Amino acid sequence: MLRIEDASKNFRRKQVLKGVSCEFQNGVYGLLGPNGAGKTTLFRCILNLYPYQGTIVLDSEEGGQIPLIGYLPQKMGVFPNLTVEEQLRYFANLKEIRKEDVADEIDRVLQLTNLSEVRKVKGRKLSGGMVRRVGIAQALLNHPALIIFDEPTTGLDPEERMRFKNLLREIGKESIVLLSTHIVEDVEAVCDRILILKDGCLAAKGTQEEISHIADGLVYEVSKDDVLSEDYIEKEREADGEMHFRILTRRQLPDSLLQKPNVEDGYLCVLKEI
Amino acid sequence: MRIKRNIARNLKNIYWQLKGIGIFNLAPVLGLYVLIPLANLAAYGMGHDMDYLYVNIVKQCQIFCPILSVWYVIFVLEHCIEEPGNELLYIRHRNKLPELLLCYLTFQILLLPLFAVYTGMFPDLWWLYLKLCVIQLLYLGLAYFTAFLCRKITISVLAVLCYSISTVMAATIEVQGISYYKVIVNQGTDLVRELIPFALAAGVMLIGGCICNYYFPMRK
């Protein structure tokens, strides 16, 4: 279990995290928030890279001790002259995996990330998506109790994204998986629970249904003439030669225009304070 | 047991990092076993004079060895400081000095066969080897401290190059203090007295480097 209690972090005078508290059991958790909301800062506090106020405890160990954490940073490079397998051997050494387990562990993560066929390919020949998969593979080494993915799907093609989502569901059965992204669709596809960070505060948390319910009675589809400046336009689409707008509004409109809310609607309601 | 395990882990880290830079890791070997011997041979060929060769060895070693000694260090530092996603390297072990000291030791070992040949010809050149060990530690400290202080490897490279050039220039205009570059090799207590300021400076740089290294992941 990962427990965060009243975690705060300041950068000089700017408070980037403001008393975040939450608990995580095994499962996939999506951390949503706009740029600068504090997602990466929260991750770095969990990884003990930043000093922080409050308590962060993983499996009854204090934050100073880092038992088994897998981490995929937002940006990651590879050695141009090392093969995929060698890069993973390097990370296995960093993670202090026992010598006799290294080969099996590498085989396992290569298979999980669909990189077995390119295990002998050098870093300089890898595409951006493959580099990302090497990053995912190194995070999975040694069966970590907590795995943190910071914007993991960036650079992955649709097929690999789908594969990654399936993989997340699998590893979420045995580990705590924290996933930060601004692609709501990814979160909807795999996350058991969702946390929304806004200006360093935990603005909302809950299951997908609970987040969707935040926008109950606020989502409408209207024609162009019915849109007012106070409405938040979420999407627009053309049908029968006419533009239709999906809006979030506190106004009372006819029930016939009311739409069933989804996670994105809930997220936007929290973000835009509708 | 734990120390042994940490050394083995750090050695493996260096091995992968240096393998990762490809043919660039041959530069110190080529410098030590091609560049310097060729310069020595050229000097001997010009005068067929053993005294002239002795002076040339002393000069060339003091110019090239300290710079070559930080070659591996610079690449390891670049990986730790400028590589995207380098926070991964600080999760379990924040202090990079053990890895860098192993790079330093690797270079000292590389230097040994060259000095075995030199001392076969001029026995007192072991003192030059000892002098270079201390000076190279100063270069290590300078590279380590400036790299983590400025968080830019180019600044570290510039600092090393500037110091190296200035030490030769300072010696030619007879400015004492910052220069270790001399055409004679002091021995015994004279050498110890000569090296104390450089050893102290190296210690200060290494401590400064450790402090900047500790705070590095927090400043990102």
Asked whether the predicted pLDDT for residue A12 surpasses 60, the reply is: yes
CATH number at residue A151: 3.40.50.300
Percent of chain B's residues with pLDDT above 70:
97
Task: Give ipTM to 2 decimals.
Answer: 0.86
**Are the CB atoms for B19 and A81 separated by under 8 Å?**
yes
Per-residue model confidence as pLDDT tens digits over A24-47: 999 999 999 988 889 999 999 999
Q: Does A44 touch chain B (CB under 8 A)?
A: yes
Residue B219 has a pLDDT of 72
The helix/strand/coil state of A21 is: strand
In this structure, are strands A2-11 and A53-58 parallel, antiparallel, or unpaired?
antiparallel
**Are the CB atoms for A29 and A45 separated by under 8 Å?**
no
Mean pLDDT of all residues in A201-221 = 91
Statement to judge: residues A31 and A126 lie in one domain:
yes
* Full-model pTM: 0.86
- Contact assignment for B91 to A49 by CB distance below 8 Å: yes
Residue B129 has a pLDDT of 94
Closest approach of chain A CAs to the CA of B13, in angstroms?
A: 6
Q: Does A253 touch chain B (CB under 8 A)?
A: no
Statement to judge: residues A107 and A132 lie in one domain:
yes
Asked whether the predicted pLDDT for residue A91 surpasses 90, the reply is: yes
Mean pLDDT of all residues in B55-62 = 90
* Chain A environment of B20 (Cβ under 8 Å): 79-82, 90, 123
Residue B175 has a pLDDT of 58
HSE at residue A46, side-chain half, CA atoms within 13 A, is 30
Residue A1 has a pLDDT of 86
User: Structurally, how many domains does chain A consist of?
Assistant: 2
Closest approach of chain B CAs to the CA of A115, in angstroms?
A: 19
Closest alpha carbon to B7 in A93, A97, A125, A53? A93
Identify the domain boundary among A192, A211, A230.
A211
Q: In whole numbers, what is the pLDDT of chain A averaged over residues?
A: 88
Identify the domain boundary among A160, A188, A211.
A211
Statement to judge: residues A184 and A234 lie in one domain:
no
Which one-letter DSSP state was computed for residue A16?
Answer: E
- Contact assignment for A66 to B89 by CB distance below 8 Å: no
Which one-letter DSSP state was computed for residue B33?
Answer: I
**Domains of chain B, residue spans:** 2-219
Q: In whole numbers, what is the pLDDT of chain B averaged over residues?
A: 89
HSE at residue A224, side-chain half, CA atoms within 13 A, is 6
**Are the CB atoms for A227 and A248 separated by under 8 Å?**
no
Per-residue model confidence as pLDDT tens digits over A214-240: 988 888 888 877 778 888 888 888 877
Which residue of chain A has the CA closest to B216? A49
- Contact assignment for B84 to A89 by CB distance below 8 Å: no
Mean pLDDT of all residues in A58-62 = 62
Residue A202 has a pLDDT of 93
Q: Which of A69, A74, A86 sits opposite B91 (nearest CB)?
A: A69
Bridge partner residues of A247 (DSSP):
A220, A233
Candidate from A40-54, A57-71, A78-92, B6-20 with smallest mean pLDDT: A57-71
Asked whether the predicted pLDDT for residue A177 surpasses 80, the reply is: yes
Candidate from A50-64, A120-134, B180-194 with smallest mean pLDDT: A50-64
Asked whether the predicted pLDDT for residue A89 surpasses 70, the reply is: yes
Asked whether the predicted pLDDT for residue B14 surpasses 70, the reply is: yes
Closest approach of chain A CAs to the CA of B217, in angstroms?
A: 6
Residue B176 has a pLDDT of 61
How far is Cα A61 from Cα A2, in angstroms, rounded to an integer?
10
- Contact assignment for A71 to B91 by CB distance below 8 Å: yes
Which residue of chain B has the CA closest to A12? B219
Per-residue model confidence as pLDDT tens digits over B74-90: 999 999 998 888 888 88
Greater confidence (A169 vs A85) lies with A85
User: What is the token pair recorded at A140?
Assistant: 């999975």
Q: Does A40 touch chain B (CB under 8 A)?
A: no
Which residue of chain B has the CA closest to A88? B16
- Contact assignment for A77 to B85 by CB distance below 8 Å: yes
Closest approach of chain A CAs to the CA of B186, in angstroms?
A: 43
Statement to judge: residues A262 and A187 lie in one domain:
no
Mean pLDDT of all residues in B32-58 = 87
In this structure, are strands A242-248 and A219-223 parallel, antiparallel, or unpaired?
antiparallel
In this complex, how many residue pairs, one in chain A and one in chain B, have their CB atoms less than 8 Å apart? 72
**Are the CB atoms for B58 and B185 separated by under 8 Å?**
yes
Asked whether the predicted pLDDT for residue B25 surpasses 80, the reply is: yes
Interface test with B, best of A93, A138, A147 (most B CBs within 10 A): A93
Statement to judge: residues A168 and A251 lie in one domain:
no
- Contact assignment for B9 to A93 by CB distance below 8 Å: yes
pLDDT band at A205 (very low <50, low <70, confident <90, very high): very high
Asked whether the predicted pLDDT for residue A247 surpasses 60, the reply is: yes
Closest approach of chain A CAs to the CA of B116, in angstroms?
A: 33
Task: Name, in order, each residue with C-beta under 8 angstroms of B136's C-beta and a sequence gap of 6 or more.
Answer: B65, B66, B69, B70, B104, B107, B108
Identify the domain boundary among A177, A195, A211.
A211
User: What is the token pair recorded at A252?
Assistant: 């009372």
Asked whether the predicted pLDDT for residue B203 surpasses 90, the reply is: yes
**Are the CB atoms for B153 and B147 separated by under 8 Å?**
yes
A6 phi/psi in degrees, rounded to 5 = 55, 45
**Are the CB atoms for A119 and A110 separated by under 8 Å?**
yes
Which domain does A101 fall in, by range?
2-211
**Are the CB atoms for B125 and B32 separated by under 8 Å?**
no
